[in-house]
Amino acid sequence: MLNALTKPSIQNAIPFWASMGFVLVWLIAVINGGWWIILIPLYSSGVTTLIDHFLGLSTQNLDPAADDEALFWHRLVTFVWVPVQICLVLGALIAVFWFDHLSTFESVFLLLATGTITGGIGITYAHELIHQKDKKERLMGDILLATVLYGHFRTEHILVHHRYIGTPRDAVTARYNENLYHFLPRALISSFKSAWQVEAARQIKQGNEVGDWSNPFWRYGAGAAIMLFLAAAIGGWGGIGLFILQALVAILYLEIIDYIEHYGLVRKHLGDGKYENTAPRHSWNANHKFTNWLLINLQRHSDHHYKPDRRFALLQTFDKTEAPQLPYGYPLMAMIACNPRRFRRLMNPEVKKWRAMYYPEITDWTPYKDASTPMPR
């Protein structure tokens, strides 16, 4: 790890409120329309990357033994964002259908841009909340996921991804040399399927019917239905269509980040369907300061998979001797990933360095590349 531990305080919590900058940018876009809407994606990608360049890397690690009370100001931003996101999504629809200052093109563009916020920030905050033991926090996470119609992410992420990361069982571990546009449909379809299978198996194990009311898919569906009803109340079928468009952008943004977080990284097969334990080296780490503030340390993904019960503020960062490092923060990496050739030129040499550093004894990587190693037990 990079430096001495720091105690949590309101001073080191304030930077993590950077996501609230999106509210101001969104308001400017909604009020003015036109090319002002481009401020949203410009801020989420270009401006954040530029600020990263000037602020440099984050090396501060908070004391992982800090309790929840000491983290009040850090946690508060995740709670506040829940009503904020609802207002952003429904507010965009109200601006489109209850006012007449936006053209059809501007309306579509606004909901597309809003999806970059609900995906980049909203799902990131949902991810933090669904990991917590407190039921109220998990419920807030469910609400955020309902605003992007992706409730099953809670099951898939907690019960599948974390358990099977770096193995053929995990749909969102991107394979070496895998094209983003091949990864996306595989991840989207397999994630839903695996989440359903897990919950169905849990119901059967508990002696229930698969469709028992305790199956969380009822909750996921109800959340989505409520949001679609509100969208319809605001704009009818057009409101539903634009709401779904926003959700689609958010989901795609999430899965692009998934693609980046584990690209080419696998866990060593030990034989007989057994794999090594998850370690910091099985996720890409990024120490870029501003985007870690903006994404509440999501880029400290190496420690998140190593210690998934840690709150975002307590995630530790690592140097290149302990975990593989992304060359840029997530926003710029997401743009590069959309150009598969450039992404492979950038990342394949890094994967090869990772292989040489951690697994010099493996001479044939074909089974890992093809995901043909045995399914984990």
Torsion of CA 345, 190, 153, 25, to 10 degrees: 40
Tokens 């093109």, residue located: 105
Look up residue 238 and give its amino acid. Answer: G
Report whether 316 contacts 1 (CB < 8 A).
yes
3-state secondary structure string, the chain?
CCCCEECCCHHHHHHHHHHHHHHHHHHHHHHHCHHHHHHHHHHHHHHHHHHHHHHCECCCEECCCCCCHHHHHHHHHHHHHHHHHHHHHHHHHHHHHCCCCCCHHHHHHHHHHHHHHHHHHHHHHHHHHHCCCCHHHHHHHHHHHHCCCCCCHHHHHHHHHHHHCCCCCCCCCCCCCCCHHHHHHHHHHHHHHHHHHHHHHHHHHCCCCCCCCCCHHHHHHHHHHHHHHHHHHHHHHHHHHHHHHHHHHHHHHHHHHHHHHHCCCCCCEEECCEECCCCHHHCCECCEHHHHHHCCCCCCHHHHHHCCCCCHHHCCCCCCCCCCECCCCHHHHHHHHCCHHHHHHHHHHHHHHHHHHHCCCCCCCHHHHCCCCCCCC
Residues 6 or more apart in contact with residue 329 via CB below 8 angstroms: 48, 49, 52, 286, 288, 290, 291, 292, 299
Is the model's pTM score more than 0.85? yes
Count of other CB atoms within 10 angstroms of residue 164: 20
pLDDT (tens place) for every residue of the chain, 377 residues total: 445 578 888 999 999 999 999 999 999 999 999 999 999 999 988 899 999 999 999 888 998 888 889 999 999 999 999 999 999 999 999 999 999 999 999 999 999 999 999 999 999 999 999 999 999 999 999 999 999 999 999 999 999 999 999 999 999 999 999 999 999 999 999 999 999 999 999 999 999 999 999 999 999 999 999 999 999 999 999 999 999 999 999 999 999 999 999 999 999 999 999 999 999 999 999 999 999 999 999 999 999 999 998 999 999 988 888 999 999 999 999 999 999 999 999 999 999 999 999 999 999 999 999 889 999 98
Q: For position 4, what pLDDT does the model report?
A: 57
Query: What pLDDT does residue 296 have?
Result: 96
| CA 30 to the chain's CA centroid | 25
